[in-house]
Amino acid sequence: MTEPEYLADLLLSAGRLADERWRDGLLAVPRHLFVPARACAVPDRPRHAAFDIDRDADPDLWRETVYSDSVIAVQVDGQGTWTSSCSAPGIVVPFLQELRPLEHHRVLEIGTGTGWTAALLSWRVGEKNVTSVEIDAELSERARANLEAAGYAPRLVVGDGAKGFAEGAPYDRVHVTCGVERVPYAWVEQSRPGAVMVLPWSPPWGPGHLARFTVAEGAAVGRLLGSCGFMMLRSQRRPLGPPDGAVEQRAEAARSVTRVDPRTLVGDAAGLDLAIAGLVPGVRSLLEGAMDGSVRLWAISDDPAWATVDFVPGRAEFEVRQHGARRLWDEVEAAFLRWVGWGQPGRERFGVTVSAEGQRVWLDRPDQPLSLA
């Protein structure tokens, strides 16, 4: 059995590969041509630590990793944050399956990275039909060489993918391989009615969602199909820690208590994450745990405003502090109670519409947008 066959079987048994055509694609476009000699890998399983791979020092480990379900970082910035990677095959294939490109489709890809997915798309629809945009010129150049080694030469564009690439429009498919909080309307404008866009929709509350949009006249209507985590579109990157100045502001923050256990509000239910993302858009969550079992939940917005709720084991009520232009805990708690009142709908009942006016989250039907008002 060849290594690409092994990878395809691995994905098949994990339920990640359902469409036979993409099995052929995995065999036709060998992943090792897209992974640099030295990189850092993380198996696509919870709580697995990153490890370095070096083709010269340990060729067996390098190859074994390339043909496993691992994300492989190929660029890291000065703060140690990953800025480009060859995404894990177990997420690449479901994205391509949801995209469902046909032979004649013109595809716009955002985030060329190593060029692996641009090659898979070129294999499927022909290189002349693929335009892939990458913000980093050096990465784009490396991708061009990788693609050439694999025998493909799609159109590679260096630029901000948030603007799409109008010259190549209209597109039938838009394949986005970086996280997106606010879907750029340019992608809708540059797509044909009926076009499909697949992207990691990543609001700042909770993990990201695999989203599949269909473009109608002037708007795209999307459904959320599963979880996924991707590095964000460059212009939509978010800070990771608590907000600046929060330590000094703590004493002057408004105090209250809540009976809602803050631990229930993050990562517990995708439907709740979506309700909060829709009812309180732009609000970021952050969870900090301590060895004694206490947990601090932050809600943070750019207004600027922040709130904290401190879970302490054994207590019936939890201290809330809120600071800034908005009372963020009051809003998040109201969103939580609204979701409970709706009967705790799951991810499959939510959707997102992107139009020239912006983006809105809805429950069950596009004409039922979420609002706290």
Ligand X SMILES: C[S@@+](CC[C@H](N)C(=O)[O-])C[C@H]1O[C@@H](n2cnc3c(N)ncnc32)[C@H](O)[C@@H]1O
Enumerate the active-site residues: 87
Least Cβ distance, residue 83 to ligand X (angstroms): 6
8 A C-beta contact, residue 254 and residue 267:
no
Question: In this complex, which beta carbon is closest to ligand X, that of residue 117 or of residue 353?
Answer: 117
Question: In this complex, which beta carbon is closest to ligand X, that of residue 114 or of residue 131?
Answer: 114
Phi then psi for residue 343, to 5 deg, are: 90, 25
Question: In this complex, which beta carbon is closest to ligand X, that of residue 85 or of residue 308?
Answer: 85
Place of tokens 């996280």: 179
Give the whole-angstrom CA distance, residue 118 versus residue 156.
9
Q: Where are the beta strands (DSSP E) in the chain?
A: 38-43, 51-54, 70-76, 82-86, 107-110, 130-134, 155-158, 171-176, 191-201, 208-216, 219-228, 254-258, 284-289, 295-301, 305-311, 318-324, 350-355, 358-363
Which residues contact ligand X (rule: CB under 6 A)?
83-87, 110-111, 113-114, 116-117, 133-136, 139, 160-162, 177-178, 230-231, 233-235
Question: In this complex, which beta carbon is closest to ligand X, that of residue 87 or of residue 359?
Answer: 87
DSSP-derived letter for residue 234 is G
The bridge status of strand 130-134 relative to strand 155-158 is parallel
Least Cβ distance, residue 118 to ligand X (angstroms): 7
Least Cβ distance, residue 217 to ligand X (angstroms): 26
- The one-letter code for the residue type at 231 is M
Please, what is the end-to-end C-alpha distance for the chain in angstroms?
59
Least Cβ distance, residue 163 to ligand X (angstroms): 8
State the Cα angle at 62 between 57 and 64, rounded to 5°.
Answer: 140
Question: In this complex, which beta carbon is closest to ligand X, that of residue 133 or of residue 196?
Answer: 133
How many CB atoms sit inside 10 A of residue 231's CB? 22
Least Cβ distance, residue 132 to ligand X (angstroms): 8
